[in-house]
Amino acid sequence: MPIFDKDAELMKRGEIRQLQLERLQAIVFRCHKSVSFYRKKFENAALTPDDIQSLDDISRLPFTTKADLRDSYPYGMFAVPLREIVRIHSSSGATGLPTVVGYTRNDLKNWSVLCARIMFAAGVTADDVVQIAFDYGIFTGAFGIHQGAERIGASVIPTSVGNTDRQIKIIQDYKTTALACTPAYALGLAEKMAESGVDPNTTSLKIGLFGGEPWSESTRAKIEDKLFIRAMDNYGISEVLGPGVAGECEARSGLHINEDHFYAEIINPDTLEKLPDGVEGELVLTTLTKEGFPLIRYRTGDITKLNTEKCSCGRELARMSRVFCRADDTIIVRGINIYPARVESLIKTPEGILPEYQIIVENVDSQDQVQLLIEVTEELFLDEMRRLREYHLNLEKTLKASLGLAIKAKLVEPKAIPREGGSIKRIVDRRSNNSC
Ligand code: DLL
Residue 139 Cβ contacting ligand 1 at under 6 Å: yes
CATH architecture type of domain 331-435: 2-Layer Sandwich (3.30)
Give yes or no for a cis peptide into 340 (omega within 30° of 0). Answer: no
Work out whether the CA dihedral 101, 104, 108, 114 comes out positive or negative.
negative
- CA 290 / ligand 1 centre spacing (Å): 19
What integer is the mean pLDDT of 387-408? 89
pLDDT of the residue at 403: 85
Give the position, in ligand 1's atom list, of the atom nearest the Cα of 234: 26
Choose between 249 and 346: higher pLDDT.
249
pLDDT over 90 at 436, yes or no: no
Residue 434 Cβ contacting ligand 1 at under 6 Å: no
What integer is the mean pLDDT of 316-324? 95
Fold that domain 1-327 belongs to in CATH: Rossmann fold (3.40.50)
What integer is the mean pLDDT of 136-142? 94
Measured between alpha carbons, how far is 431 from 211 in angstroms, rounded to an integer?
17
Report the DSSP beta bridge partners of residue 360: 371, 428
Measured between alpha carbons, how far is 187 from 304 in angstroms, rounded to an integer?
24
Residue 338 Cβ contacting ligand 1 at under 6 Å: no
Quote the mean pLDDT of the chain. Answer: 93
**Confidence grade of residue 76 (pLDDT, cut at 50, 70, 90):** very high
pLDDT of the residue at 324: 83
Residue 236 Cβ contacting ligand 1 at under 6 Å: yes
Q: What is the dihedral of CA 295, 299, 304, 307, to 10 degrees?
A: 40
What integer is the mean pLDDT of 133-139? 93
pLDDT over 60 at 435, yes or no: no
Q: Which residues contact 315 (CB under 8 A, 6 or more apart)?
A: 3, 9, 10, 249, 256
Q: What is the dihedral of CA 365, 221, 120, 135, to 10 degrees?
A: 10
Domain positions in the chain are: 1-327, 331-435
**Confidence grade of residue 386 (pLDDT, cut at 50, 70, 90):** confident
What integer is the mean pLDDT of 48-77? 96
**Confidence grade of residue 229 (pLDDT, cut at 50, 70, 90):** very high
Number of CB atoms found within 10 A of residue 74's CB? 15
Kindly state the percentage of the chain with pLDDT values over 90: 78
**Confidence grade of residue 93 (pLDDT, cut at 50, 70, 90):** low
- CA 353 / ligand 1 centre spacing (Å): 33
Identify the weakest region by mean pLDDT among 87-96, 212-221, 326-335: 87-96
Contact (CB, 8 A) for 145 and 180: yes
- CA 319 / ligand 1 centre spacing (Å): 16
pLDDT of the residue at 397: 93
Measured between alpha carbons, how far is 118 from 124 in angstroms, rounded to an integer?
9
pLDDT over 90 at 170, yes or no: yes
Q: Do domains 1-327 and 331-435 have the same CATH topology?
A: no
Mutate to test the pocket of ligand 1, among 302, 305, 403 (most ligand atoms within 8 A of CB): 302
pLDDT over 60 at 171, yes or no: yes
pLDDT of the residue at 94: 47
**Confidence grade of residue 342 (pLDDT, cut at 50, 70, 90):** confident
Q: How far is CA 271 from the centre of its chain?
A: 24
Contact (CB, 8 A) for 152 and 3: no
Contact (CB, 8 A) for 273 and 258: no
Residue 201's Cβ-count burial label (10 Å; 0-12, 13-18, 19+) is: exposed
Residue 300 Cβ contacting ligand 1 at under 6 Å: yes
Contact (CB, 8 A) for 301 and 267: no
Give the position, in ligand 1's atom list, of the atom nearest the Cα of 238: 11
**Nearest C-alpha to atom 21 of ligand 1 is from which residue?**
212
pLDDT over 90 at 379, yes or no: no
Residue 337 Cβ contacting ligand 1 at under 6 Å: yes
Kindly state the percentage of the chain with pLDDT values over 70: 97
SS (H, E, C) the chain: CCCCCHHHHCCCHHHHHHHHHHHHHHHHHHHHHHCHHHHHHHHHCCCCHHHCCCHHHHHHCCCECHHHHHHCCCCCCCCCCHHHEEEEEEECCCCCCCEEEEEEHHHHHHHHHHHHHHHHHCCCCCCCEEEECCCCCCCCHHHHHHHHHHHHCCEEECCCCCCHHHHHHHHHHCCCCEEEECHHHHHHHHHHHHHCCCCHHHCCCCEEEEECCCCCHHHHHHHHHHHCCEEEEEEEECCCCEEEEEEECCCCCCEEECCCCEEEEEECCCCCCECCCCCCEEEEEEECCCCCCCCCCEEEEEEECEECCCCCCCCCCCEECCCCEECCCCEEECCEEECHHHHHHHHCCCCCCCCCEEEEEEEECCEEEEEEEEECCCCCCCCCHHHHHHHHHHHHHHHHHHHCCCEEEEEECCCCCCCECCECCCEEECCHHHCC
pLDDT over 50 at 212, yes or no: yes
Give the position, in ligand 1's atom list, of the atom nearest the Cα of 233: 26
pLDDT of the residue at 293: 98
